[in-house]
Structure 1
């Protein structure tokens, strides 16, 4: 690939390099590795990402023919077979395309002034021209629609809420109905006369760049020893009838450089904070959890359900601590650990996002833990987690 690209000079070469860079990112390659493969500097790669808000361009130059579109050879075969009198269904069968594809191709490119003749070369040229002239987005051409979307973003509505609102506001104007992804793209790509990228601050995350998400398969490969997933967990855990079924995760600080481990009992909502002052790699997390579980009796150590992060790659060392073992939720499925996620949300009042968590001493974390465990909870009949846990152990 690089040999072909290096033989192209000027602006065309840069477009091809950028297209290949985005294709690598979309295939799961990291930004730094993609820059190395394409042969550009990291700053150039990060600039390309920043200019597009972390999203690939709407259209990228085709360095090689995509099977999604008809090729010149296919168009010439359509012209030849049509001259022989074959029907559109027969032509589609011969070239391995659907009948609707052939029908659209002929309808778009039949030359009325030439008595309905289909010219393959002319059709291919017109197709390439159309691909180079993308239509203007609705948010560029419809000022009233753009103003409505901007007003809702100023009120800190999510793009999904705005998309639903537009359907209610203009039920009889489907051309003004946008999907939430269209609004996201308009925000992050910041096209001229569309939405300003400064409005990304109004989103819940406030991110200036769209975050790339790793596939579930990539996360599962972190574990060298096979892990047990949540669907293998004993049914009794779902019933919340016993203590000792814990959910856990890491609460991370600024730049992912500091963290605190959290552990919550599913039945009583008792919280335990585990300090990680020296880092949160797999060895330190495993050792910290082992030490934190030591004071608990065997009856309070039934299961542990965790997020499939790299910090749990030594999960097999923790399994003997729990009678029924260690289990993992599916990637990108926080609702499967709902008790822990809810508790982490409460914890953020004391450990805000974007702060350095290493500044909190073990004594400070213990004070935060006691404050949350001493709050009465509606789900516990207005008892506190600490009292509910003690009562359950006694019973």
Structure 2
């Protein structure tokens, strides 16, 4: 506003007061107009507290008095993570309620000292508040609580550059472990499927996903201590990586890299549990309670857990995981001759690739590559694909046991691994298109990811230690 126009609009005020107004305006840095000021931090804090209880963003928005679109926008832009501290303010700074009280008393022409006595604050605090955070769009100072709260929140911001923005080497390390290429053991890159462009939506359902190294943020953060033991600049918490991915404008990682996380979620959501279907072919001698005690103790290697991951068109991949090292083997289950050529026949031969005969053959071939001391037992779910377990045990020397119905926690290592594999083989996709070499590449990627439970070693490293211990002279067999 020009000086002449400002003087004309305020000509009814005394000269001394106008001089004070000019001084206040000159010392205050220019701030953009907020339009309608955003809800206070107290409202946002209550919104995120309600989100933490498990209710939807729409319900939380209505509960705190903002519109549903506003609540949805808060939740989406923050990636489901609270961008502010949920701790109550210490009382050092004026609250929105105190600013409302100041506005009411000031409108009643109360003096600064009287207002200070009413709200229990120092007169200097009230005086500075009336001058610093007053609205000025009308050409003179007008104190309104909503504008004052917005100005106070804007002035309190202390923007801090994210560590990933400042440290190029650290950013490249995180990016490579999160979004790096999957490679075969000989180093050849496996491109995998070509997914649709990311549109900012949540976890893609029944669609191809990008194949990547996909180390979890915690794996990346902990592995940095091993790879750079003497470089303190190469340190970052897993939560900082998550914030860089989920919260808009927080870090240097692109938002679409959330597709490289195991779940693929663009927002933090509770995860659902899967349930196994019971089978009717389990006899009393192969139930879970009959499994030897040493299988429960992960100190002894050679005890495995197994299951199938199912795709469309009755396609499947077998997964077996060693309980001690967490080493994974993927079993290729190609469709048998005649699949899709003859009409379906009830109780006819299973041509999908994971009938009892095909499963026994493929699983036996995979287990046969292991030393005899490392194939003691196999714990499977109750699926009928392993109904020929007696023949399998004869061929491989591996005793099969079946978990109880609806008890996935009895095969925890395999359940966890199947969750990891769903990043590469999503539900609702055709799994028969991947060759044995492709499955070997994915198993190689999983076996070379550091695990927290292994003190950030990789399953491949632990499995190699097990193999070396078997070849040491004088080591007694545990059979």
TM range (shorter): 0.3 to 0.5
TM superposition score normalised by structure 1: 0.45
- Report the structure, 1 or 2, having the larger helix content: 1
Structure number with greater Rg is 2
TM superposition score normalised by structure 2: 0.37
* Larger RCO of the pair (alpha carbons < 8 Å, separation 6+): 2
